[in-house]
Structure 1
Amino acid sequence: MAKAVARKQLPAGITPVIEDYLKTIYFMAQEQAQVKTTDVAKRLRVKPSSVTAMLKTLADLKLVEYRPYYGVALTPLGNQIALEVIRHHRLIELYLVKALGFSWDEVHEEAEVLEHVLSEKLEARIAAHLGDPTLDPHGDPIPALDGTLPETATMTLADAPLRKRLRVVRVRDQDAERLRYIATLGLVPGAHLRLIERAPFEGPVTVRIGKRVHALDSRLARTILVEEAPRHPS
């Protein structure tokens, strides 16, 4: 993967709004083959005409490749900047939890603001203080300085095999209320569980965590990524 970009190397005119667009396009490209203007507008909750104007600006800055009526893709430079912003965001989230006592449902909104103003010096100090971590509080991978991301073989809880011992790796949800609910169930990164029942037709899944049993909506279960854990008496 391409190397991360230092702030001093960025093109002139990079603003927090531009960074938010690049980050959004990056995430959407991980989820779907084609990122359309209307999709970006829905994700950012802005008018399609505003997105079109911004994409033209990003194309002029060589940050995206944009084809009207088809879609948008990040250039290598745009991808590098997106990864740098994501690194800032996830380091800040972890620092707020580990050093300042925030809960995992409180940190997203704070990091959304601070990710744009974090200096390289402070970023390095935070990373060193945390021991150069690879995961944030939700289990999301933190891009390394060279832009690489740690890779893990995971599956959603909704698709996991029945009766197998599983470990929660990552929770892909930033909604504070849902995160608080997930935490009350004990479905935090590192937790062990078993999927004991899956209802048909997109019905709920039932999991056992220790001695507790919970039924989860399949949509919520898809935000929880797990891996098979080594055998261990439960």
Structure 2
Amino acid sequence: MGQRASTTSEAIKRLHAKGLVEHRPYADIQLTPQGKHLAIVMVRRHRLIETYLCQELGYSLGEVHEEAEILEHAVSDSFIERIERKMGFPTRDPHGDPIPDVNGKFTAPEVVSLSTVNAHETCVVDRISDRNGDLLRYLEQRGILPGVKIEMLQRAFADLAEIKIVATGERVQLPEVSLTAVLVSKDGFSGA
């Protein structure tokens, strides 16, 4: 987490005192029902803000996550409700992640990592991890986004994959290690 053990320990104690986590020394930390509810509320806020920043303000996938991290704690519930309404109640954020509704409910389709797709199979990009901003920018610049149909091409090298965007025919090379960041829908699979 990038924190000293004492800082982390104090944070856990504060969360426990607020009734958000269950924790016994040297045991796993579990969210309480109240903690799970708050976590879902924060995920919802974060994903709605990311969506708003991309759709309405032109932020790129690679820069939106950090901005949303700041804003999710600074805006009111009324602001969240208004941007959600303005955007037509989106169900997915720009990375493809499901946005929980006001009751905390969401659906997430079955997906697999792009690393499991064989040569000559086609699939549809469902989600892209937001953990690596550079990779997000690379994929976005090349049109590899949620909803895009792609085909895995023959791999010439073990550590390099080449995919084709079906609609444009554009070929994109990806390092093997980056394939786990792209999740694709099983429903989109087909053989060549």
TM value normalised by structure 1:
0.74
**Distance of 1:152 and 1:173 partners within structure 2:** 18
Query: How many angstroms apart in 2 are the aligned matches of 1:155 and 1:126?
Result: 31
For residues 144-192 of structure 1, give each alpha carbon's deviation from its aligned partner in whole angstroms, at most 9, with x where no partner exists. Answer: 1111122201111001243222111110124322211111232111111
Query: Which of the numbers 188, 193, 199 marks the counterpart of 2:145?
Result: 188
Residue identity opposite 1:180 in structure 2: R
Distance in 1, Cα, partners of 2:178 & 2:117: 14
- What percentage of residue pairs aligned between the two structures are identical? 35
- Are the aligned partners of 2:50 and 2:94 in contact in 1 as well (CA < 8 Å)? yes
Counterpart of 1:58 in 2: which secondary structure? helix
Residue in structure 2 matching 1:218, options 163, 172, 176: 176
Q: Which amino acid aligns with 1:212?
A: E
- Whether 1:209 and 2:148 are equivalent positions in the alignment is no
The DSSP-based 3-state class of the residue aligned with 1:83 is helix
Specify the code of the residue in structure 1 equivalent to 2:13. K
Q: 1:149 aligns with which of 100, 106, 109?
A: 106
* Equivalence for 1:10: none
Say yes or no: does 1:139 pair with 2:96. Answer: yes
Range 178-187 or range 74-83, more displaced: 178-187
Q: Is the 8 A contact 1:165 1:192 kept in 2?
A: yes
The 10-residue stretch of structure 1 (184-193 or 136-145) with the greater mean CA deviation from structure 2 = 184-193
- For residues 146 and 62 of structure 1, the distance between their equivalents in structure 2, rounded to whole angstroms, comes to 20
Inter-partner Cα distance in structure 2 for 1:230 and 1:206: 17
CA RMSD of aligned residues (A): 2.0
CA displacement at 1:198 relative to structure 2: 5.0
Secondary structure, counterpart of 1:53 in structure 2: helix
Rounded to whole Å, the distance in 2 between the matches of 1:219 and 1:78 is 33
Deviation, 1:119, is 1.4
Residue 188 of structure 2 corresponds to which residue in structure 1? 229
Q: Which amino acid aligns with 2:47?
A: R
CA distance in 1, matches of 2:189, 2:179: 21
Give me the whole-angstrom Cα distance separating, in 2, the residues matched to 1:144 and 1:198.
41
Number of residue-to-residue matches in the alignment: 188
**More strand, by proportion:** 2
- Contact residue 65 and residue 130 of structure 2 kept, 8 A: no
Larger displacement relative to structure 2 (54-63 or 175-184): 175-184
Q: In the alignment, what sits opposite 2:34? A: 77
